[in-house]
Amino acid sequence: MEINPQTLDQREVYKLLIGCVVPRPIAWVSTSDEAGNYNLAPYSFFNAAGSNPPTLTIAINYSAAKSGRKDTLHNILTLGEFVINIVSEETAAAMNETSADVPADVDEFALAGLTPAPSRAVRPPRVAESPVSFECTLHTSVPVGEGPGSSTIVIGIVRHIYLRDDLLNERGYVQIDRLRPIGRLAGSAYCRISDIFDMPNRRS
């Protein structure tokens, strides 16, 4: 099958993308608004981009219900600061709670029974229940397209990292069986990392 995405409607293209780009890590993004209200929401269009400086990216899609701009994007563009928390199996259900489309002044920490912990380098709090939190400042935001299906790619520079004490092994690698992150698939499907195989790097 050969597909020209221009012949599909936006929803069909979205379904292909989220079905094929899998599994996606989940950035659980905490932000604050001008008044200091907390906001928390999951974003699976997420990845690491560089390590000097350390950079992370998320993509925030257009939301008709929010006049285009989701609360997370509004807060990041206003304050220039955000925290990306990692979602573990233990916090999967709470993460899902925080994806509810609620008004901007609703604190999703309280909604999902989570604990905001003070960050060290930025104003928005981290999620105390998360094993890892990356405190970021906004580097750039890139709007791509307009209307439904469009998105804003946000690039953040990591200013501080919270890492739960038991996660690192003696060689400085994160132990995946302690982190227990979950991944997003299409629709309501998620995955655990429970089938790992080794393949030594090729060095030519």
Give contact residues for ligand FMN (rule: CB under 6 A): 26, 39, 41-45, 59-61, 66, 70-72, 96, 99, 101, 184
Nearest residue (CB) to ligand FMN, 44 versus 130: 44
- Beta carbon of residue 114, minimum distance to ligand FMN (angstroms, whole number): 14
Nearest residue (CB) to ligand FMN, 180 versus 184: 184
Distance CA 91, CA 195 (A): 21
Joined together, the tokens standing for residue 2 give 């050969």
Nearest residue (CB) to ligand FMN, 142 versus 168: 142
Nearest residue (CB) to ligand FMN, 71 versus 172: 71
Cα 11 versus chain centre, distance: 21
Phi then psi for 126, rounded to 5 degrees? -95, 170
- Beta carbon of residue 181, minimum distance to ligand FMN (angstroms, whole number): 12
3-state secondary structure of 92: helix
Distance CA 129, CA 137 (A): 22
Buried b (16+ CB within 10 A) or exposed e, 133-170: bbbbebeeeeeeeeeeeebbebbbbbbeebeeeeeeee
Distance CA 56, CA 154 (A): 8
Length of the chain: 204
Check if the beta carbon of residue 76 is closer than 8 Å to that of residue 31.
Answer: yes
- Beta carbon of residue 108, minimum distance to ligand FMN (angstroms, whole number): 7
Residues with Cβ < 8 Å from 188, sequence gap 6 or more?
none
Nearest residue (CB) to ligand FMN, 72 versus 85: 72
Nearest residue (CB) to ligand FMN, 46 versus 162: 46
- Beta carbon of residue 11, minimum distance to ligand FMN (angstroms, whole number): 14
